[in-house]
Structure 1
Amino acid sequence: MSATRVQNVSRTSSRAAARATAVTAIAASAVLLLSGTAAAHVSVQPQGEAAKGGYATVNFKVPNERDDASTVKLEISMPTEHPLSSVLPQPVPGWKVTVSKSKLAKPLESHGRQITEAVSKVTWTADGSKIGPGQFQQFPVSLGQLPENADQLVFKALQTYDNKEVVRWIEAPQEGAEPESPAPVLELSAPADDHHAEDAKDGKAAEDTKGTKDAQGSAHGEKSASASSDGSDSTARILAVVGILVGAVGVAFGVLSGRRRSS
């Protein structure tokens, strides 16, 4: 192979490698850009589990998306299709919280009492604090009673910046497509075990334990009775031997006494 041909092959390989590197860099940048955009919306996550029919503490996580503005207000609307009888926000330093309630079209039953109104919106307003560029803030809330006939709860969120811009995170999730402004979604886990079943299980375990103890006590009693019987038999045998010995001594003493009198 000539030197010229070798140089041409080398140049072609270098160009191909450069193109591959450029394509890889562009693809990586696109992935990072898309993942950053998808992860930048307001979201909600439970602390532990959010089981159907139970209560849970959740965190609304609010990242700041702007380089030249700070977040100063967050509004979270409660789901209207599944009203919650208990919504308790945890105080966040530097933020003022306001809870709004509304009348329910259909009253709720909770712990034997009827609920005619429920929390419809929770609003946090900056009061000496804010979420600056490159920062995020979490807002904890206790929620309950979670619905038993739903797999998730959708909350609508409004994020306000100090430049008066309002970002509306209100689009419900759609299968096979990611909304441009997705609303926070709380996934609900399977309901906790039935307490009655647990009580029955505990009761059965207690009965089994009692039966075992009774059987052990009975066996111990039989063993004690057997030991007592064995002890009584041994004592009787000993007394019988002693009686025989005493009798033998008495006979020998009588014989010796008779011989002495004869002499």
Structure 2
Amino acid sequence: MKRLFFIFTLVLLSLYANSQSIEISGKVESLSNVENIHVINKTQQLFATTDKRGVFVITAKLNDTLIFSSIQHQVKNIILTKQMIIDKVVYIKLEEQINVLDAVTVGKVLTGNLMSDIKNTEGDPPIDFFDVGIPGYQGKPATQSERRLSEAGEFKPKMLLGFLGGGIPLNPILNGISGRTKMLKKRVAIETREELMLSIKARLSKDFLASNPLKDDLVADFFYFCADDQNFLKHCKNQTDFKILIFLRMKYKQYKENFNQK
């Protein structure tokens, strides 16, 4: 009787231990970059990202499903085994994502014969500012609203000193009085938020929605809901994917609560 009780106790303890979540350390190996790979615990709807060495830590338990995903790699799913739980360590090797495109011929085919190819080539090569030896802007092109805001100018009190010299810039003053500058600033801010939101949606939605499901017709609405948050830029602009995913998870809970109250 005592022996049966002892065996029964061991079984219960084993079942209890297997049902408990613990921290699992892991390392991802690949021939390409292993930083910022998304590690998703699909079972418990948790996520983590790898550091520059491919190392990550995530909470999990026996039989949980982990998903490894990045733009550069093929998606890989694993189910945590008893040995992995005992060791508290997981090693994963990812294969690179290879996109094969159909061959496309654009323009005339060059034969390798110099005189023949010259005759078949039409037009002059484009000239840029490097060709003529002058400095040029190499950054991100300004949007239409940003260009209009720059042209409108911004009124500053020191501009009034222009009266003393016989000249004063009228555009900033007139646009400030009419409210056009304020309107353009608001438009630029809205476009900045939307551009960042669309970038996050394109880059992270697949991994995020794997553990935070939404109907297809609600996905766009959810990301606009995130962008409307007054702290959206603070939490998402120039931040790591991990911090952005934490913000999205917080907004997901709010979105579901609001949706259920309708």
TM-score (norm: length of structure 1): 0.24
Report which of the two has the higher share of helix. 2
Structure possessing the higher radius of gyration over alpha carbons: 1
Judging by fraction of residues, say which structure has more strand: 1
